[in-house]
Structure 1
Amino acid sequence: MIQKTRRRPQFSPLRYPGGKSALFGLVNSSVRENGATGGTYVEPYAGGAGLALGLLLTEHVESVVINDLDPAIYSFWRAVTRRSDEFMERVRSVELTMNEWNMQRHVYTHPSAHSDFDLGFATFFLNRTNRSGVLNAGAIGGKNQSGPYKIDARFNRATLLERCRLISLYSDRIDVRNEDGLAIIDEFAGRSKTFIYADPPYFEKGSQLYLNAFKKADHESLAQALNSRADSLWMLTYDDAPTISSLYSARRQFDIGVYYSVRNARKASELLIASDSFRLPEGHATHRA
């Protein structure tokens, strides 16, 4: 049986494939159940970081670590947390046209010719104006803007500015990193009142959704790192793949329900894997035999 999940308010300015905002109740309860309230919440593969922001902005944790190896995603998080006023001014003033889209696309595809701030904003712009938020997809409405939705369909300035403003208020409690996720796990695993939630690229369809998709060896390396730290406080979610289940055969595994927003809204079963010390709150997932 798949446990129903409640949709939560959106805190992240990014639209992200496989975003886990619907798991806010589970993660929030897990932080509390495992004594990490007021501590540090760590996402080694942050992406849109909706859960991290939700926990921080509702004061359930004292600080968050947002890590992403993708330099474009990292540049966005650095820009919105370290140069908030300048970033928000661009959100206010940027034109929502195909001419602007082409310029921002050029920045994104030629990062070495532009500043990290410009790359971060271009990443944000494309995420909000591309189909399903996929950075290498085309613009909403197409090149001729002849589709039923136009390029501005997911660019609500007022909403996005408010999310950026809230992030700016908490920026000194957000640690943005651009490292390999394994290095982040190695650094934070075992620390007092530190909760790690790993949400790596999907195993079966990751190459269709992420520019930095994992290879099989990457999934195996992650499993080795987490299994070797089974006494630390962590949880992990994946698409439901037999290979992944096998890699974590020594750990407890659960079925959870997650909403997907790429291409079409649907709900599917995903796999949650927990460290040995992790206490799963009742009523959020179904244990696998």
Structure 2
Amino acid sequence: MTELLSVSTSRRYGTLSPLRYPGGKAALAGLFADILTGIGIADPTYIEPYAGGAGAGIALLREGLVSKLVINDIDPAVHAFWRAATENNAELVDRVLHSPLDMDEWRVQRDIYRSKPKSIIDLGFAFFYLNRTNRSGVLNAGVIGGNDQRGNYKIDARFNRTTLAERLRAIGSLSAKIEVSDLDGRTVIKRYGRDPCAFLYIDPPYVQAGSQLYLNSFDRRDHEALAKIVREVSAAHWLVTYDTSPLIERLYRDLFQCRLELNYSARHPGRANELLVASSSVGAEVSRLQSLDATVA
């Protein structure tokens, strides 16, 4: 395994995703931009098989660094949100601007989320509402401020209507370049695995966090099955991030690996070291960037 990689890029992007996500990787957008530039992919398609908040992908698309963004998430509520954001944008924005921010509305949206209605806009907004009003964006974590709203922060602490509406409108303006799907992540990887213009960022549920933070957690067999599929990707450029785990290091033992240092709050306080695994093309570019950082230092 190579040395620690602290993310140092030619440019940093702000938080552009409207979602709060445990372990969200929006901070990696600058690194991905440098990798894409170094590899020299013409009109790249950026794919997140386990999208969640899709923070890095949204940043790259808004900056014109990728020509297409594929957002895939098998969870029905996450998928509904992204469908609503791209297909029912105006109505979603209107709900964000005008829905009450109180415990009565929180309970209404919680019940909608639990019932999993067929309506894309209803389920998508319910998921979004809970994501922005629950602690750390975790849907089973409880509301910010507690049910009695006596905490230091209240239900609206992470629900800035104006900012969220702006982010959603920006996504709506790019909807023609965004594809949303609800497939198993491995299916998406296989679909784009032979495309030399594809860049896949694979961020699956982690080993240690399990069902505490993820709506669809993995067991050992899932991690093994994913590793098998990733190893079969022959032409696409890809990068995987995981928590540091002997299981994952062993599953990807003969591929490029390095430690990745990022700041988190939901999963760990302060800085967290994670594992980065990459295809040969991406691994070579990461090594080059590490060498440049060492030279500058």
Q: What TM-score do the two structures reach when normalised by structure 1? A: 0.94
Match of 2:100 in 1: 95
Residues 70, 178 of structure 2: 8 Å contact kept: yes
Unaligned runs of 5+ in 2: none
Give 3-state SS (helix, strand or coil) of 1:91's partner: helix
1:109-161 deviation line (CA, Å, top 9, x unaligned):
0114x512100000000000000000112100000000000000000011101
Of 228-237 and 19-28, more deviation after overlay is shown by: 228-237
Distance 1:241 1:247 in 2: 10
Alignment of 1:276 with 2:280, yes or no, is: yes
Give 3-state SS (helix, strand or coil) of 1:280's partner: helix
Residues 103, 147 of structure 2: 8 Å contact kept: yes
Match of 1:3 in 2: 6
1:174-216 deviation line (CA, Å, top 9, x unaligned):
0000000011011111213111110001111132110201111
Match of 2:86 in 1: 81
Residues 192, 236 of structure 2: 8 Å contact kept: no
Match of 1:159 in 2: 163
Instruction: Give the letter aligned to residue 140 of structure 2.
Output: N
How far residue 277 of structure 1 moved from its aligned partner, in angstroms, is: 3.1
Distance 1:137 1:157 in 2: 22
Return the match for 2:221 from 207, 210, 217: 217
Distance 1:102 1:263 in 2: 26
Return the match for 2:200 from 196, 199, 206: 196
Alignment of 1:150 with 2:154, yes or no, is: yes
Matches within 5 A, 1:171-210: 171-210=175-214
Match of 1:61 in 2: 66
Return the match for 1:31 from 29, 36, 43: 36
Distance 2:277 2:71 in 1: 21
Q: What TM-score do the two structures reach when normalised by structure 2? A: 0.92
Residues 73, 184 of structure 2: 8 Å contact kept: yes
Of 22-31 and 237-246, more deviation after overlay is shown by: 22-31
Alignment of 1:228 with 2:232, yes or no, is: yes
Q: For the aligned residues, what is the CA RMSD?
A: 1.7
Instruction: Give the letter aligned to residue 143 of structure 1.
Output: N
- Identical columns (%): 47
Aligned residue pairs, count: 285
Instruction: Give the letter aligned to residue 127 of structure 1.
Output: N
Distance 2:145 2:290 in 1: 38
Give 3-state SS (helix, strand or coil) of 2:94's partner: helix
Matches within 5 A, 1:232-247: 232-247=236-251
Unaligned runs of 5+ in 1: none
Residues 31, 37 of structure 1: 8 Å contact kept: no
Give 3-state SS (helix, strand or coil) of 2:93's partner: helix
How far residue 75 of structure 1 moved from its aligned partner, in angstroms, is: 0.2
Residues 195, 235 of structure 2: 8 Å contact kept: no
How far residue 283 of structure 1 moved from its aligned partner, in angstroms, is: 3.5
Distance 1:265 1:55 in 2: 27
Alignment of 1:266 with 2:270, yes or no, is: yes
Distance 1:206 1:35 in 2: 36
Distance 1:195 1:283 in 2: 18
How far residue 16 of structure 1 moved from its aligned partner, in angstroms, is: 0.2
Alignment of 1:122 with 2:126, yes or no, is: yes
Distance 2:275 2:61 in 1: 25
How far residue 220 of structure 1 moved from its aligned partner, in angstroms, is: 0.4
C-alpha change, 1:46 and 1:284, in structure 2 (3 Å) is farther
How far residue 17 of structure 1 moved from its aligned partner, in angstroms, is: 0.5
Match of 1:105 in 2: 110
Instruction: Give the letter aligned to residue 95 of structure 2.
Output: R
Residues 80, 120 of structure 2: 8 Å contact kept: yes
1:42-77 deviation line (CA, Å, top 9, x unaligned):
000000000110100000000010000000000000
Alignment of 1:16 with 2:14, yes or no, is: no
C-alpha change, 1:37 and 1:270, in structure 2 (3 Å) is farther
